[in-house]
């Protein structure tokens, strides 16, 4: 039985790599944000707006425990998931955890064009975005580092690169 969690900052590739990796490994793919959106019939932005970040984090923890019971799954967590409650310990206790490590410049380049659906970034200017990324990474790194594996996910910009990254991730987890 396999249960793998991908963790890492927004834009690190949890959804992109997770989807491709799950397909290659014949695992069910669950993106925690999408799971929440389906269960609540609301987008992540709507949940943040209606319940605040604290309300979202409560839901996120509850849904994490729901999907953490599933078997033969790859779960793409949200960027903040490991950093609240005992979520990181929980993921480590029920599965394998992989931290997708991506440097701030690459995150910035990705998030600049993909910030709109992310309530913590949506209204930021370029300068603010870089500051938010670097200061959040400082705070979150202690949690991300608790993952059982660390994987460099800086090469995800094309179909070919995603395929190569899938192969490398498989080698890492088979070790
Ligand atoms: N089909 C694609 N082609 C090129 N780049 C992509 C594609 N899909 C995702 N990416 C890049 O990978 C980044 C990672 O996004 P995503 O997987 O949503 O990260 P996360 O789930 O960790 O927040 C995207 O912001 C984008 O730059
Ligand atoms: O880092 C965070 O606090 C968040 C990351 C998002 O997921 P992605 O990392 O998949 O963008 C989503 O859960 C929410 O916008 C909050
Ligand atoms: Mg995602």
Ligand 1 centre and the CA of 49: distance in Å? 24
Q: How far is the CA of 113 from the centre of ligand 1 (A)?
A: 10
Identify whether 20 is part of a domain.
yes
Show Cβ contacts of residue 71 under 8 Å, excluding neighbours closer than 6 positions. Answer: 1, 2, 3
Domain boundaries, position 41: 3-164
In a domain, 175, yes or no: no
Establish if 172 belongs to a structural domain: no
Could you tell me the CATH number of the domain that includes residue 94? 3.40.50.300
Which of 36, 42, 39, 38 is CA-nearest to residue 57?
36
Residue 171 lies in a domain: no
Please report the DSSP string for 110-161 in residue order. Answer: HHHTS-TT-TTTTT--HHHHHHHHHHHHHHHHHHHTTSSEEEE----SSHHH
Residue 80 within a domain: yes
CA-to-CA distance for 13 and 174, rounded, in angstroms?
A: 20
The total number of structural domains in the chain stands at 1
Q: Is residue 173 part of a domain?
A: no
Residue 27 forms part of a structural domain: yes
Q: Is 68 in the pocket of ligand 1 (CB under 6 A)?
A: no
Tens of pLDDT, residue by residue, the chain (175 residues): 999 999 999 999 999 999 999 999 999 999 999 999 999 999 999 999 999 999 999 999 999 999 999 999 999 999 999 999 999 999 999 999 999 999 999 999 999 999 999 999 999 999 999 999 999 999 999 999 999 999 999 999 999 999 999 999 999 999 7
Within-domain flag for 170: no
């Amino acid at each position: 039985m396999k249960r793998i969690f991908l963790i890492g900052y927004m834009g690190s590739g949890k959804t992109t790599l997770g989807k491709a990796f799950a397909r290659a490994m014949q695992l069910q793919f669950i993106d925690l944000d999408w799971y929440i959106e389906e269960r609540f019939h609301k987008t992540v932005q709507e949940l943040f707006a209606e319940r605040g970040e604290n309300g979202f984090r409560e839901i996120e923890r509850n849904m994490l425990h729901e999907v953490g019971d599933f078997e033969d799954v790859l779960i793409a967590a949200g960027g903040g998931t490991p950093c609240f409650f005992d979520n990181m310990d929980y993921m480590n206790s029920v599965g394998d955890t992989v931290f997708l490590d991506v440097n701030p410049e690459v995150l910035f380049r990705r998030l600049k064009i993909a910030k709109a659906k992310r309530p913590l970034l949506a209204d930021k200017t370029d300068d603010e975005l870089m500051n938010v990324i670097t200061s959040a990474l400082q705070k979150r790194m202690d949690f991300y580092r608790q993952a059982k594996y660390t994987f460099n996910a800086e090469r995800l910009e094309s179909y070919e690169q995603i395929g190569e990254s899938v192969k490398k991730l498989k080698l890492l987890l088979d070790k």
